Every structure is written in structure tokens, then in C-alpha cells.
Structure 1
Amino acid sequence: MEIRTRRLRRHTVETIVEEEEEEEPLSPAARLFHAPEFNCNIISVIGLNRKIEPDVIIEGIKQTLIRHPRFSSKLVNSWNKNRQEQKWVRTNVVVEDHVIIPKIETQNIENANADTFLESYVSDLTTFPLDTSKPLWEVHLLDLKTSDAENVAILRIHHSVGDGMSMMSLVLACTRKTSDPNELPSLPYNNRLASESSPLKTSSRCCPRLFWLVMVLWSVVVLVSNTVCDALEFIATALFLKDSETPIKGDFRLKKSKQMRLVHRTVSLDDIKLIKNAMKMTVNDVVLGVSQAGLSQYLKRRFGEKKAGEQDVSKSDMPNGIRLRGALLVNIRPTSGIQEIADMMATGSKCRWGNWIGYIIFPFSIALCDDPLEHLRRAKSIIDRKKNSLEAVLTFVVGKILLKLLGVQRTAHVINRALSNTTMSFSNLVGPIEEISFYGHTVTYMAPSVYGHPHALTMHFQSYMNKMTISLAVDPTVISDPHTLCDDLEESLRSIKAAVQETGFTQ
């Protein structure tokens, strides 16, 4: 299949550039993302339900995206007293240089083949870096009908430009509700009563002051104890504590594959909410439990395949006591709202931006449970304990301290080693609750992911309307059948939902 790419003819575009050249040094986290061990990129596949009009999208980008300072600044390396300095320098942006339209020979391409072609196209993008002579982002527009979209847009942005939450808010600020083209998307929020979210206040009204003081002190003791334990685990992980060798764990001592494979699967968000309400959990609790169940089922099969010549893998050869931990990405500060970012792009106002990411090391309980709900209970128990810890803040602060003391390269090596001793990365992002359009093109799904860090498996959950899209980024030399893992995750959700309905919890 022949693919030819073309870029639209250049035109001078209006950008926000001061008379004097603007410069801003890279933040410590941004410099870390340019280290060889962490040359990370965010990539998001967006399904559209109509044929793409490139001129409309380009004009929309001119009016929104490039008005953001990071999307109109290029990375400049300079030397000052034998020390390399990295700066963001504002520049004139030719949007057409960032919009790539591959010419695809679509004759006789069925939906299944189109899905395979899309996966190959996105996988190829992971093999070459972004052009540092211009701002570090690009948009690919594919005239390709797949099984779940009429056409596809792909956004690729270097992680130094911002963290995942900031990027999601920015992309959503470039969209509008299809029901009202002048309205920004709405995100779900938990509106809880004060008595529900602040049990200590209730206790203070009905309990003696001494008892209330004891409760507060106990909460502080638990918080400090959990934080200390988590800090010791992180140190041990950076030094020697490795996860078990499993079929989904890459080996950081070997040269990591330069190519990653990205796949996605869309499931029902309503099913997840049904389980959430029945089990009195959060959506995040449920997706962690489903992930744990799906990983257990997938590893059962992979360990069974290791039996030479064995056809029946119903009896698993999966060992007991598997240590399998994931690095859960946590945004440790309030993200700028969609309206705030939209106002910034429209008027040039200021808003919070940058990479403020912490990590939680989450131990997945890999086991074959007769009761599927046990995976939910175990996941909730672990995450509830993690909520009573400052682990995410601590990893962020320690990272900043290490950057000052050791520099970028040594800090990258330390963090790379710690992450390499775990198995996977995991994140869950909240999306709009109603249908939206991307510069006039209605969105059918959003599948974000990231690559460049030392994990053979990265799992992202992205909600949108009544859907939840599961995105997997895998090293194909380690996980050659990611669609099978998607099948196991989908089947785990079905079995957990069925178990909930059988117990009568939904009543």
C-alpha cells in the first residue's frame, strides 16, 4: 500500500509575538522529558464522523491552538559558561508546516484493514522524533474510514510542552458542543454534600472535643506512616526492588524497542457507572479493578502458552505471589479549566500550565479469583490506602530536588531505573459528558496515549459521553497480541457487571 504525504502550501499566519523576542527557560520537568531516557511524546487518536475539511481545521488551529505560548515557541539550546541552557523562544508559526495529510490509496480497504492501517501509521510515528526547528507538535489528518470513525485526526505533542491533564484541557478548549457551537464542553463533577465529604465536621458536633482531637491526630499519624512506607518503597524500587518477570514486563537492561504499537477498545461507560453505584465506588476504582482482572486473565493465558505442546490452558501455570506494579500518573495541582484556557487563547490572558506530575506505585493483585468482584474490592482497598498518603507529592518534590542536586542526566537515570523496576504505566482521564466537535467535525472517540518512557505496557482510560475508550501502548517485542489483552479487559468488565447483577446490588 503506497502512502505519500503532503503539506499544505505555506501562508503567513498571525501569531502572538512581542516586538522583542520572548524567551522562557524550560522547567525542570520539561528538561527531564528531553533526556534520552524520557524522550516522551503524547499522542492522541481522535475519531471523526465526517469527511475531513483540512482548510477548516487549519483555520481553527490559527484561531486557537497557536495562540498558546507553548504551541508558538520552539526549543532552543544554547551554552552559557560551559553549561547548556534550554529555552522556549516564541516564533512565527506556519500552521501548514504542522498539518500532515498523507495520501492513502484506499481502494479495496475494508474496515478491518483500515483499522490495521491506522495502527501501523500511528506505530510508525513513534519511530522518529518531532522536528525541533519548530514548535513541538503536529496534526495528522487521515482520509480513512475505520470501523468506528469516518475519518481520523492524530495529535502528536512532545511531553515537555505540558502534562496530560493540561493537554486534555487544551484540546477540549478547541472543541465545542455539537448541540451549541458556541458552548465549550462540560466535564462531570462530583457534587457532594459537606457532611459526606467532611466527616470530621460531623464528629465535632456530636463528639467530645477530646475524641475529635484524637481522630485528627490519628489521621495525621496514618498519613505520615503511609507516606513514609511509600517513600521507602520508592527508594527500594529505585535501588533493587524489581517486579516479577512476567510476559508483559520489559527488561530495561536491554535496548528498548524504538517502535511502539498503539491500539484501543471502546466499552460502555454506563456499565462502569452501574458497577460504581452498586459497589459504592468511584469510576477510577472500577477501572483499576477491571484492569486487574483483565491482566490476571491475560497472564493466565500467556503463562499457559509456555507449556510446551500443551493445548489446554484451562489449568494455568501462573505462579503465585506475582509482584506487578503500575506507575499511576497523578496531577498534583488543580488543572486550568477549559474556559480559562479558551480565554487565554482568545485574549492572551494567563493560566496555569506545565508538568506537575507525581507518581503512585500501585500494586496490582494478580490472581485467579472465583468471585470477579474480589478484584474490585482489592483494587479499592489499595487505592483508598494510597489516598491517605502524600506519595504523589513526594515523588514530584523529590524529582525537583534531584534535578537541582544531580542534574538532568543523573536524575533521568534514577527515575528511569525506578520506573523500569515496575511493570506498567496507568492513567484515567475524564472527558466531556456530551457530544463535541473538533473544529466543526463531530468526535466519535478519543484515544490518548504516551510513549518514550521505560515501560512495555501503558494503559489509558478516557471517558467521552457514555463511552470509555481503553488505549494500550505496547512494546511489540514484549506484547505481540495487544488486541487479546483488550479482549480480556472487555470480558472482565462483562463478568464483573454480570456478578453485580447476580448479587442484586443494582437494586
Structure 2
Amino acid sequence: MRRTRTLKPIQTTKNVENILSCTEEGQPLSPMARMFHEPESNVYIIIVIGFQTQINPEVVKANLVDTFLKQPRFSCLQVADEKNGGQLKWVRTEVDLDNHVKAPSPDLNQVESPDMYVEDYVSNLSRTKISMSIPMWDIHLLNIKTSKAESVGILRVHHSIGDGVSLMSLFLSCSRKVSDPDALPTLPASKKQKPCSTSSGGFLQHFIKLFSVLLIYWNTLVDVVMFLITILFLDDTKTPLKGPSGVGSTPRRIVHRIVSLDDVKLVKNAMNATINDVMVGVTQAALSRYLNRKYGKNKKGGGGAAGNNNLPKNIRLRATSFVNLRPYLGNEDISETMKSSSDVKLGNLIGYVLFPFTIALREDALDYVQSAKATGKRKKATLEAIYTYFMAKTFNKFFGAKWGSFPTQTTLWFSNVPGPQEEITCFGHQMAYIAPTCYGQPNALMIHVVSYANKINIILSVDEEIVPDPHQFCDDLEESLKLIKDAVIYQGLVDCNVY
């Protein structure tokens, strides 16, 4: 095994000692953090990382001291404050890395399928919780070669410590480009709206601005009313993907499928859409294929044969889709905060929207993307995510976490996080893929999308009692992307010679 060098820190002008002195000692958990401790939503983030080399556990431990352990939340217990009604608070503690870094040594002669060994290992983690007697995170290092990597690392963090965006920021602060070992990874640039000129344009421009503002407030009102109706009584249609009450406490099977980012960009450019629009369209197509097959198997007399439309009419299927609120709440951009692991601000600055998926068999596969694009545009013209964030904080503060918990009426959780645009190393180990997801959420299905270099990884976290065939669902996702890409080429929306 070749020697793996330790991480060389990026030099910054900030005073690290001042940063380290600003701990959260004695502070209560935020309302959003407390939501992730509720019995129906006791959520853990789990990040599976494939590496192109064997992992050196001692190198990982040495680097954790200068990165993760400089984060107060990675060095704090969550302790009940009896003086404050048993509310959890942060209490600084000494961290023994041996309690957090696990490096099992499986007997490779007894492992029939390395891929299944890793999959089972991750699934077994979802059956357990991290003791609250230590900071609620751990790392598992598996030096076992799979079909996609030479070794696998698994980072597990309780969601109360931070959301996916802040943890991605922390992770990337520990990473460097393969092409330039001293440079931080590059993230996809977010599109910033151009400031509107107020000195020209006349009546028409002012009318358009006024109409846009009124539209946002109207959409927000509609979404807030729909949200309250959902919380009170509006449930999704009972489909084979809809989990029962209490599903948040069940173990999960976590699988993932890697697809080409170039294929997604091909569709994106041809349809003047976003990558998120394309991936939501692919998900709609895959959900429709999967449910059509499930309903077909339940039909008698051959009525559910392949190729038939077996779907019931008017299926209501929605996702709780998470939105990073940092750009809206004036927080620093992720590319700024990841210059040093000490600069990263962990926390849960996320809101969520109720995102409707159209379940139907389409003759034109591009209709799935068009539908996703239209819904996405509508959801961008609303303050729903900000409302749900502040509503959760308010309800938690005055009525307790139970009243501010996540909606259980939706069918799935959906989330996406942008990843680095180039190949990177973490603590000197070159990455092959990254697959973040969650367990403990009050839905039987979670779909997570993350980009890395020229690939997109689609990760499923499923309750096997509800979704017993997650690999088949991955096949549906991959096939749906292929059908949409082929439709773009067939309809002449892209120059085939260039492609």
C-alpha cells in the first residue's frame, strides 16, 4: 500500500484561536436540531464514500484532530438540562477517537460478495443509534475491494449536528483537488439574479415587478394553506411506496446508482432546464414505471401485463423536498466557509416544500422533464421553504417538537446537494464516489442526488418491508434517463454529430 500523506491546510487570514474560543458550550439545541430527536424523525445522515486506494486509519485519525475536532459540535455531548425542562444542550467533552473511528477487519475468504457485504454493513448501521454518552458521530473504515472502489469509508452523523449542506462544506474543507493538491474543490456556481434597475423601464417594468412580487405572495399563501391542510388531514394516496405510521424507526437498505453527468447535461441544455429539473423528471418517470409494474402484478386475469397502463387515476404522490436557506438568510456561500474546517458553520438552516410528482405513463418521455420544469419554476416563486423553517422554529419553541415535526403525510423525502466538479482526495485518499443519505425519516423512501466530477449518484434509502426491490428501482431510474436522453436525440433537439 502506497503511503498516504496528511492533509496540507489552506492558509487563511482569520485568527483560528478566536474561532475555536467561540464554542456552543451550554447552549440549548436549536428548534430544528430538536426536531431530529423526535421518535418519528430521529434522523441520522450517513455518507458512504468509495476510495480508489486502501484507507490508512492512522492517517485519518491524525487529520480528524485538525479538522472535525475543531468543530465544537463534533466535540460536544447533547445533555438534558434539568433546569430547563430536560431540554438538550451542548456540553464540551474530551473526544477519544477510538470511540468514533472503527476499522473492522473482515475475513475476506468468508465474504462471497464484497458489494453485498458493504451494503449489509451500512444497513446494519441503520438498526443502531450512537450513544449520547459521546458526541453523536462515528466513522467506519472498510478496506475491502468492491466493484466501484478499492475501499469504503462511512461517516455517520446525527442530523442535529448539521444538515447535508453544512456537512458537505466540512467534508470539502478536508479535501483537495487531485490535479492540484493545494487547492480546494470547485463547486458548481449558483446562478445569482441580476439586480433590477430602478432608474429606467417606465410603467411597464414597474408593473412587471409589482406583478412578480404579488405572484410570490399569492403562491406562498396557497402553499401555506396546502401545507396546513396536509398537516391536518390531507394524506398521499396509499400506493405500494407509501409507508405506514411509525416507519421512521425501521431499518433501511441503502443502495445507489451512478449515471453520467454528461447525459443529464445533454437533456438540460436541449430543454433549457436545470440539472435538478432533469433529475426530478427522471424520478417521476422511474416512479411511474415502478408503480405501474407493482399495480400490474396485483391485477388478476392478465390485466397487468407489461406494456399496459395499470396505474390508478389521480394518484397524489408528494415529496418533502429540502431547500438550503443560507442564500436567503444572508449566510456565507459554501465556497467561502470551506476554506478552513474551523470556518464551517454547522447547523440546520433548511426549509422544505411539498413537491408534487406527476405519476403517469407518457408517450413522450420529455413530458416528464417538462412537468418537473414547470413545477420547479412554480416552487421557486414562493416563500414556502422559509415559512416552514420559521414555522418549525416557532412551533418547537412554544408548543414542543411534536407540533413542529416533519410532515408524515408525504410519500418520500427528496434532496440534492451539489458536489465537487473535479476528482478530489480526502486526507490524501482519492475518492471514487460519494453517496450521502439518511435513515430515521418518517417515510419508507428517500431519494438523494449528488454530483461528483463527471458523474451523478442517485442514492435510495428504503424500508425493505415497503420497497423490497431497491435495485430494481435503480434500474428504473437508469432506464428512465436513457429513454429521456434518446428522446432528445430522436426529436433533433441536440446535434448528434457534436454529441
Q: What TM-score do you get using the length of structure 2 for normalisation?
A: 0.90
Q: Is residue 53 of structure 1 aligned with residue 56 of structure 2? A: yes
Q: Which amino acid aligns with 1:240?
A: F
Match of residue 178 from structure 1? 178
Instruction: State the SS of the aligned residue for 2:398.
Output: helix
Within the candidate set 268, 281, 287, 2:279 is matched to: 287
Q: Which amino acid aligns with 1:153?
A: G
Instruction: State the SS of the aligned residue for 2:351.
Output: strand
Within the candidate set 43, 47, 53, 1:44 is matched to: 47
Match of residue 465 from structure 1? 453
How far 1:28 moved relative to its partner? Answer: 1.1
Determine what percentage of the aligned residue pairs are the same residue.
Answer: 45
Distance 1:308 1:388 in 2: 45
Distance 2:349 2:117 in 1: 35
Match of residue 97 from structure 2? 95
Q: Which amino acid aligns with 1:277?
A: N
Instruction: State the SS of the aligned residue for 2:109.
Output: coil
List per-residue Cα deviations over 1:276-304 (Å, max 9, x = no partner). Answer: 11111111111011110111111111111
Q: Is residue 137 of structure 1 aligned with residue 137 of structure 2? A: yes
How far 1:109 moved relative to its partner? Answer: 3.9
List per-residue Cα deviations over 1:72-104 (Å, max 9, x = no partner). Answer: 1111112016x1131111111122220011221
Within the candidate set 243, 250, 262, 1:270 is matched to: 262
Match of residue 8 from structure 1? none
List per-residue Cα deviations over 1:369-404 (Å, max 9, x = no partner). Answer: 000000010110011011110000011111111112
Instruction: State the SS of the aligned residue for 1:160.
Output: coil
Distance 1:68 1:95 in 2: 14
Q: Is residue 427 of structure 1 aligned with residue 429 of structure 2? A: no
Q: Is residue 30 of structure 1 aligned with residue 59 of structure 2? A: no
Match of residue 5 from structure 1? none
Distance 1:200 1:399 in 2: 32
Instruction: State the SS of the aligned residue for 1:128.
Output: coil
Q: Is residue 73 of structure 1 aligned with residue 95 of structure 2? A: no
Q: Which amino acid aligns with 2:285?
A: A
**After alignment, is 87-96 or 333-342 more displaced?**
333-342
Instruction: State the SS of the aligned residue for 2:105.
Output: strand
Q: What does 1:187-336 correspond to in 2, within 5 Å?
A: 187-190=187-190, 197-198=193-194, 201=197, 205=200, 207=201, 209-252=202-245, 258-308=250-300, 310=302, 312-334=305-327, 336=332
Q: Is the 8 A contact 2:40 2:249 kept in 1?
A: no
Unaligned segments of structure 1, at least 5 residues: 1-14
Match of residue 502 from structure 1? 490
Match of residue 161 from structure 1? 161
Match of residue 363 from structure 1? 356
How far 1:114 moved relative to its partner? Answer: 1.3
Instruction: State the SS of the aligned residue for 1:449.
Output: strand
- Root-mean-square deviation (CA, aligned residues, Å) is 2.2
Q: Which amino acid aligns with 2:377?
A: D
How far 1:408 moved relative to its partner? Answer: 2.1
Change over 3 Å in CA distance of 1:35–1:211 after alignment to 2: same
Q: Which amino acid aligns with 1:393?
A: I
Q: Which amino acid aligns with 1:492?
A: S
Match of residue 11 from structure 1? none
Match of residue 6 from structure 1? none
How far 1:317 moved relative to its partner? Answer: 2.0
Unaligned segments of structure 2, at least 5 residues: 1-16
Q: Which amino acid aligns with 1:317?
A: N
How far 1:18 moved relative to its partner? Answer: 6.5
Q: Is the 8 A contact 2:142 2:151 kept in 1?
A: yes
Distance 1:130 1:450 in 2: 14
Distance 1:262 1:160 in 2: 21
Q: Is the 8 A contact 2:24 2:73 kept in 1?
A: no
Q: Is the 8 A contact 1:170 1:338 kept in 2?
A: no
Change over 3 Å in CA distance of 1:90–1:343 after alignment to 2: farther
Distance 1:20 1:459 in 2: 34
List per-residue Cα deviations over 1:135-172 (Å, max 9, x = no partner). Answer: 11100001111110110000000000011110111111
Could you say which structure has the higher helix fraction? Answer: 1
Match of residue 3 from structure 1? none
Match of residue 411 from structure 1? 404
